[in-house]
């Protein structure tokens, strides 16, 4: 069975980002932008290595 290109991209993203996203982090601040169409979240992810993303 053939895998769609979107599924392949999702699988690769989960492979590389999954372990980092499942680590413990802390929400530092949440800001709601007016007219409340966007929410900005500042995160502290001490064990995330963003150099490889």
User: 1-53 pLDDT, tens per residue?
Assistant: 567 888 888 888 777 777 666 667 889 999 988 887 888 999 887 877 777 65
Judge whether 42 lies within some domain.
yes
Judge whether 38 lies within some domain.
yes
Could you give the number of structural domains in the chain?
1
Q: What pLDDT was estimated at residue 29?
A: 94
Judge whether 3 lies within some domain.
no
- Range of the structural domain that residue 40 is part of: 24-48
Judge whether 7 lies within some domain.
no
Q: What pLDDT was estimated at residue 15?
A: 78
Judge whether 6 lies within some domain.
no
Q: What pLDDT was estimated at residue 45?
A: 78
CA end-to-end span of the chain, whole Å?
A: 29
> What percent of the residues of the chain are helix, what percent strand, and what percent coil, each to the nearest 5?
40, 30, 35
Q: Measuring CA to CA, which residue among 53, 32, 28 is closest to residue 43? A: 28
With 0.75 as the threshold, say if the pTM is over it: no
Residue 12: other Cβ atoms inside 10 A? 10
């Amino acid at each position: 069975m053939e895998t769609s290109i979107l599924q392949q991209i999702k699988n690769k993203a989960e492979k590389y980002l999954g372990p980092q996203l499942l680590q413990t982090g802390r929400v530092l601040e949440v800001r709601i932008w007016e007219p409340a169409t966007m929410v900005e979240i500042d995160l502290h992810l001490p064990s995330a290595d963003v150099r490889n993303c």
